[in-house]
A and B are shown apart, each in its own frame.
Chain A
């Protein structure tokens, strides 16, 4: 997909999910709030980042060697947004909602701009921190006898916990399969080169 289209699609998607109707629908349940709204906003922002002019990307890259700053932005943002208080606050105060959504956009853009420069080792380090965190938070959500958010039901919280653990596992499997595929693919290509 070319840059222009990515930017247009990103902006379009952002505008769509920012409309009050869609926003409220996504915030109706706790698992939807964290596992549909968060990835959608980050995804739209990632598309937008993909459509950024090369000139700006170059300037950003100077501050983002090996994608370290960017992955930090994503990691720190997600860690903060997983504090249960954030969900309640975002529902109660428009300012907090705005801050939450801005942070998600930043995190999505940062992830897109940093993933490739990071390379395998840093990607592994990033996922090695993020996925266990997701798993632990998910486990806390399923095991807590108390409601952690006043705005959501206990069943909903348990569901979110299970989904978080599941999602962490899926991301880990997908990334590992991709790595395995890439490495074997490269090796076969190299060996076939030698044979020729």
Chain B
């Protein structure tokens, strides 16, 4: 009997530690939450990815993000999207309005928006421009880009933990979220689309902090 007791205790301990390892001490249950937690703990550097977009010469993503003191809120979209992207679009519109108002107040002016398309084949610069105009995006605040090479696109999605799956009705489903990048071009936080106010406040806070740090 003692053998069985020992084995049973060991099994329970093993199962407990496996579960606690998987869930970061029972804080999270899904991979999406794990990704958000991991990003908050360890900012993610991204490798150079060639991008282009309306009013934007071919450049690479880290360079675009690494403009001095600029904090970027990014999302992933595709212009033919009927499901989640329109709501992402309207959230970005709201953030853009808030940013335009910031210019009048004493809030930091170095927060930018970036929509990255993962439908490389269809979303060429003219398509992106039409989409941007439709959302009345201001180019100085809100840019639209696509990745040029399929391989780099895959690598980028993987680095940022974005999973895109076809939904069987001709659309794509993806873990839509707001990704916040700091002035060094690192992804520092991931927010749910419901938490867009939080994402904006965090971006403003980070932007202010970056300005203070450089002025010191």
Contacts and interface: CB of A to CB of B under 8 A. Distances in A.
Interface of A: 62-66, 68-69, 72-73, 76-77, 79-80, 83-86, 88-89, 92, 146-154
Nearest to A154: B173
Contacts of B31: 84-85, 88-89, 92, 149-150
Contacts of A72: 8, 11-12
Contacts of B156: none
A84 B29 contact: yes
B4 A64 contact: yes
A83 B163 contact: no
Interface string B1-43: 1011001100110110011001100001111101000000000
A91 B11 CA distance: 25
B3 A149 contact: no
B193 to A, nearest CB: 11
B165 interface: yes
Nearest to B158: A92
Given A65-B1, A80-B19, A85-B23, A149 B30 contact: yes
12 contacts: A63-B3, A69-B11, A72-B8, A72-B12, A76-B11, A76-B15, A85-B30, A88-B30, A92-B31, A150-B163, A152-B165, A154-B173
B19 A63 contact: no
A55 B8 CA distance: 22
A69 B15 contact: no
B19 A79 contact: yes
Contacts of A83: 19, 22-23, 29
B140 interface: no
Contacts of B15: 76-77, 79-80
Interface string B46-66: 000000000000000000000
A88 to B, nearest CB: 4
A153 B165 contact: yes
A151 B7 contact: no
Interface in B163-178: 163, 165, 167-168, 173, 175
A85 B14 CA distance: 18
A21 to B, nearest CB: 20
B19 A64 contact: no
Contact of B30 (A62, A73, A84, A154): A84
A154 B175 CA distance: 11
Contact of B22 (A68, A73, A85, A153): A85
Nearest to B18: A80
A92 B175 CA distance: 15
B163 A151 contact: yes
Contact of A147 (B1, B7, B175): B175
Contacts of B175: 147, 150
A151 B167 CA distance: 11
A62 B19 contact: no
Contacts of B12: 72, 76
A69 B19 contact: no
Nearest to A103: B18
Nearest to B165: A151
Given A69-B11, A79-B15, A147-B173, 13 more contacts: A69-B7, A76-B15, A83-B19, A83-B29, A84-B30, A85-B23, A85-B29, A85-B30, A88-B31, A92-B31, A146-B30, A147-B32, A148-B29
A114 to B, nearest CB: 11
A71 to B, nearest CB: 9
Contacts of A152: 165
B154 to A, nearest CB: 13
B186 to A, nearest CB: 21
Contacts of B168: 153
B19 A85 contact: no
A118 B146 CA distance: 60
